[in-house]
Amino acid sequence: MIPERMNVESFNLDHRTVSAPYVRVADRKQLPLGDVITKYDVRFTQPNVAHLDMKSIHSLEHLFAEHSRNHSHAVIDFSPMGCQTGYYLILQSEPDLPAVMALIEATLTDVLEATEVPAANEIQCGWGESHSLAGAQGVARTFLAQRSEWEQVTA
């Protein structure tokens, strides 16, 4: 039975047909004043097969959010998915996919070179002790090693 169409784009995606890792356009919105924002599904693990651990997710969120802005002024947000399989990257405008891939690659390379997780303390973070630099770097290393697969969304 096919569920009825839902308002959230990812709820209409058949998660059984995708093949992580991948990067895909998940949504594009033109705002009332003409600005465009684009949401990318940056999927690290295969849905319903594997997931990322919370400390790694949390730390990669901090690292990517901080370092990505060194490469692009278009970054609005980098948020983990509740299913723990990836992130949503939201960018201002509609950059081409190769530029988005380059941004992700450059940022994850920065993650590998990091010596600490930015803002991983109780002053700047809501759960400052829930971090793992090594975990985030492991996730980044694995995703970068699969770079040739990022553009293939389905098997």
Q: How far apart are CA 64 and CA 108, in angstroms?
A: 7
CA separation, residue 64 to residues 30, 95, 106, 121, 136 (Å): 25, 18, 10, 17, 10
- The verdict on whether omega for the bond into residue 118 sits within 30 degrees of 0, i.e. cis, is no
Work out the number of other CB atoms within 10 angstroms of the CB of residue 49.
9
* Residue-level length of the chain: 155
Three-state DSSP at 44 gives: coil
CA separation, residue 52 to residues 1, 33, 83, 135 (Å): 29, 38, 9, 9
Please determine, for residue 1, whether its predicted confidence score (pLDDT) is greater than 70: no
Sheet holding 75-80, edge to edge: 22-30, 36-43, 86-92, 75-80
Which of 10-14, 75-79, 98-102 bottoms out in mean pLDDT, i.e. has the lowest?
Answer: 10-14
**pLDDT, average across residues 58-80:** 98
Q: What angle do CA 72, 75, 78 make, to 5 degrees?
A: 130
Q: Looking at the whole model, is its pTM more than 0.85?
A: yes
Determine the CATH number of domain 15-146: 3.30.1360.80
| Whether 68 contacts 107, CB under 8 Å | yes
Q: How far apart are CA 4 and CA 119, in angstroms?
A: 41
Please determine, for residue 2, whether its predicted confidence score (pLDDT) is greater than 70: no
Please determine, for residue 95, whether its predicted confidence score (pLDDT) is greater than 90: no
Residue 32: what pLDDT?
96
